[in-house]
A = this chain, B = another copy of it.
């Protein structure tokens, strides 16, 4: 659905050097503003041919008290933690949430947005599908001034608030720990290379290697599409190499667990022969044998922060100007990486 450019409040705000919420208040004829300011803004809006968005306005006045959430998949522990954080926070502030899952499909993501917008949600929290490379549907939301923010899988192309975790730092922590344990030939088992997290975690992996005087040519990277079949396959392929790595950093826990199963089948001792670290801190990580060292992502907190920020924007407690929240990860050390006895349990 192509259309001519629609002037937004953000553009008016920029032109006048005031905040978006000031523009919003002026156009609503709020008594809080000085009459001169109001006049200046209203005249600028007229001169720019601003079309006051009645739909967005009516949504803001007559609230449905419902937020829409779009996630790529619900079976992942990380996204279901996000949703718990979103729901608990929304509920405390008198909101209910409706969730749609894109199943990693771009078409489904667009359909989800249409569905939630027609349901008149007050705002949206969106985490992009793996397939999403084109952001026209988000630009349209933005142009229609329907409030939304993005979390975890985000794009820089749309100027709305974003909540992400510091993936590169998490990977750095994991690999740094393996290096401290004396490992020097560390392989990185990665998902598809075009995935944002594949790239970010690779960055952290290489940074840690450099910190210990190693370079990119000391790196060893295996790529999988993250299906259990291919995870097995690349592990078996690695085992055919003349010289085995002394550690593996796996991009996500399910991949780490698949690698672990193959190593155990082949009689390779973890961590003695090969140390292993994952990423996510799924419940499974704690119950496999040996228990899996992994990077813990604050999924619940991410949901909380995203929801509080969106509701603060709706309530005009904070301005609509885009903010970027980057949450830190932590390393959870378990048996799969303890080569030395220096690290206490």
Q: A119 → chain B, closest Cβ, in Å? A: 4
Question: Cβ of A98 and Cβ of B84 under 8 Å apart?
Answer: no
Q: Which residues of B contact A87 (CB under 8 A)?
A: 101, 103
Determine if A16 is an interface residue (Cβ-Cβ < 8 Å). Answer: no
Question: Cβ of B108 and Cβ of A91 under 8 Å apart?
Answer: yes
Interface size on A (CB < 8 Å)?
36
Q: Which residues of B contact A116 (CB under 8 A)?
A: 98
Q: A97 → chain B, closest Cβ, in Å? A: 7
Complex copy number for this chain = 2
Q: Which residues of B contact A337 (CB under 8 A)?
A: none
Q: A268 → chain B, closest Cβ, in Å? A: 15
Binding-face segment, A72-80, A127-135, A190-198: A72-80
Question: Cβ of A115 and Cβ of B101 under 8 Å apart?
Answer: no
Question: Cβ of B119 and Cβ of A98 under 8 Å apart?
Answer: yes
Determine if A297 is an interface residue (Cβ-Cβ < 8 Å). Answer: no
Measured CA separation A99–B287 after assembly (Å): 30
| Partner of A289 from B81, B283, B289 at Cβ < 8 Å | B289
Q: Which residues of B contact A305 (CB under 8 A)?
A: none
Determine if A53 is an interface residue (Cβ-Cβ < 8 Å). Answer: no
Within 8 A of B (CB), among A38-54: none
Determine if A100 is an interface residue (Cβ-Cβ < 8 Å). Answer: yes
Given contacts A287-B284, A288-B289, A98 and B115 within 8 Å (CB-CB): yes
Measured CA separation A227–B88 after assembly (Å): 19
| Partner of A99 from B91, B98, B284, B288 at Cβ < 8 Å | B98
Determine if A64 is an interface residue (Cβ-Cβ < 8 Å). Answer: yes
| Partner of A261 from B91, B260, B287 at Cβ < 8 Å | B287
Show 12 A/B contacts (Cβ-Cβ < 8 Å), sorted by A. Answer: A66-B115, A74-B80, A74-B83, A75-B84, A87-B103, A91-B108, A96-B111, A96-B115, A98-B119, A99-B99, A119-B119, A289-B289
